[in-house]
Structure 1
Amino acid sequence: MPTAGFLYPGYSAEDDYPEFQKLLGPDVTLRLVHTLMREDAHRVDALLDVGGPDVLADGVRELTALGVDSVVWACTSGSFVFGWEGAREQVAGVREAAGGIPASSTSFAFVNALRHLGLTKVAIAATYPEDVAARFVGFLGFAGIEVVRWAGRGIVTAAEVGTLGSDDVLEFVAAGNHPDAEAVLVPDTALHSSGILDTLEDRLGTTVLTANQVSVWEGLRLAGATGPREGLGTLFRSGAAMAVAAEG
């Protein structure tokens, strides 16, 4: 059975993953371990520490002991904050620590999902302060993705993001849409989204990609589970492909 593993920083929306497991069904397995978060802050220096090689290596050792076919660093800001090349080095370090198991991160999962769907123009509804959100814009630009609109909500901690309810998320993401965007990206794994993916897309009338959604999709893709699935938005309905990887 394909088993995808996730390194998740701290505690905020980790309960999204058991919910994804329920929605996916019994033919795949998701495993998650928590990595050290010395300071919960959407601030560049804190994020560089959250995604540091020592922190991730400790998590990888715990995760691989559970038996997984892929590893995803399930943190958007703790990956794109390193820049494109730094994020590639980060993934390479995770892969090496995991003994060569396929690895990725949420930031690359967004890029891979967009390439899989053939989308190049996006809007971003970010929970982060604007200086952090701007780094995600730059990361996507390096991949050739045009950001037609972006905004940061200015929330400093992942813990606060994790308290946002479904109605708040729906309003926030809808406000971030733009008529020229082919998709709206919601880049924070601290945000709950597992139960509202189809509702989000119905509300906006367009593709919506959330951080935990693309992380799970990426983990399953790398584990070899590439078939289409219902109830989890356009991305999962479209299946997956092994040949879209951006981090290699």
Structure 2
Amino acid sequence: MDSDGSGAVSAAELRAWILRRHRGARGQELRAERRRLDRDGDGAVAWDEFRRETFGETEDFGGSPDPDSHRKLLERSRRRFLAADGDGDGRLQEPELDAFLHPEDFQHLQDLVAKETIEDLDRDGDGFIQVDEYIADLFEGPPGSPEPPEIQREREQFLRGRDRDGDGRLGPSEVKLWLSPPSPDWAKVEAQHLIHHADSDRDGALSREEILGQWELFVGSRATNYGQDLHRAHDEL
């Protein structure tokens, strides 16, 4: 991270490191998934290849403990596959496979991402995410127990920031705004965020001690793929 050997990580160094980690991890995952799914070795993933590798040789889930859930997941995967298949040839080249695996990062798939999110969180089936449904996805304590401060802040963020029309629920357009792709220079924004919260001496850079002292902040950051990159075999961390 400290590319100039100064003993501290500047915002520019942190931004560059975040981008290196993100690109390396993303590319590694993409190549691994293509190799896993591409049964005929033609360099692309057909729907039938994905279905067979992920769901098995048959669409009959009668032997599954929850066949309806499997059928819904299959239908969702099919819907996303078709949306990611930009040229409509029934096969996903690597850029299209990237969109299939990470639709949240692609502008043309934002309607689909909003639809999937509502399906995941909408417990009463009304087509909206109520504030209590949103909170239930984050925290479910014993009945009558108080919400932790961080959950109370999430509730306030929902009502004041995400619920644009003030009706106590999120519709598709509000969910789409909430989940819109990160800013074009998201790595710079994330670097500034990390420095703001971890820079205890306010010198505008991070020492090794400051980074280690705020390890939970880094584990929960997009900079480390929300902690997943910390489990990869590499030399940069």
> Does the pair score TM above 0.5?
no
| TM score, norm. by length of structure 1 | 0.28
Higher strand residue share: 1
Greater Rg by CA: 2
Higher helix residue share: 2
